[in-house]
Amino acid sequence: MPASAARATLTGMKILATLLSVGLWLLAGLFVLSAKHPDAVASGKVLPRLVVAGLLGLGGLVLLIMAFRSGKSAEAGPSPGSVQGQEASGPLAARAIVCPNCGAKADAEAVKIGKDGVMTVTCPYCQAAFFLQEEPKW
């Protein structure tokens, strides 16, 4: 299944991001410790080291947030079993023809014009054929 493979990759990314951010935080902790070192205090390197520590900590935090945000958006996406095309928005939604049988949106490609000029639509989801009774909106 490609979807589960993608999800597994995503989980791997999350673990990797978590490990990386933990590594960054450990590094930040080392910089904080080194900032407190008497040598650093004597040579006036306390502030630069604290700044570096802060940046490393911030970097780790951003990494973690980004990893988990991308995970959330991917999980909110359409599941493999869901009907595709239902979430069409904007211009596509305005041209949509709704199937009276199942309520699915049939696209313009499903419309066929017969010899007598009557437009028939075959629902791509439930295969029900129906006539277009009113003027399409496109």
- Residue 116: CB minimum distance to Zn ion, A: 23
Which of 104, 110, 111, 119 is the binder for Zn ion (CB under 5 A)?
104
**For the chain, where are the E strands, in sequence order?**
97-98, 105-106, 111-113, 119-122, 129-131
Confirm or reject binding of residue 86 to Zn ion (CB under 5 A).
Answer: no
3-state class percentages of the chain: helix first, strand second, coil last, to nearest 5: 55, 10, 35
Pick 86 or 101: Cβ nearer Zn ion: 101
Which of 40, 63, 64, 99 is the binder for Zn ion (CB under 5 A)?
99
- Residue 123: CB minimum distance to Zn ion, A: 3
Of 84-92, 98-106, 114-122, 129-137, the window that binds Zn ion (rule: CB under 5 A) is 98-106
Confirm or reject binding of residue 101 to Zn ion (CB under 5 A).
Answer: yes
25-64: buried (b, 16+ CB within 10 Å) or exposed (e) per residue? bebbeebbebbeeeebeeeeebeebbebbeebbebbeebb
Q: Contact positions toward Zn ion, by CB under 5 A?
A: 99, 101-102, 104, 123, 125-126, 128
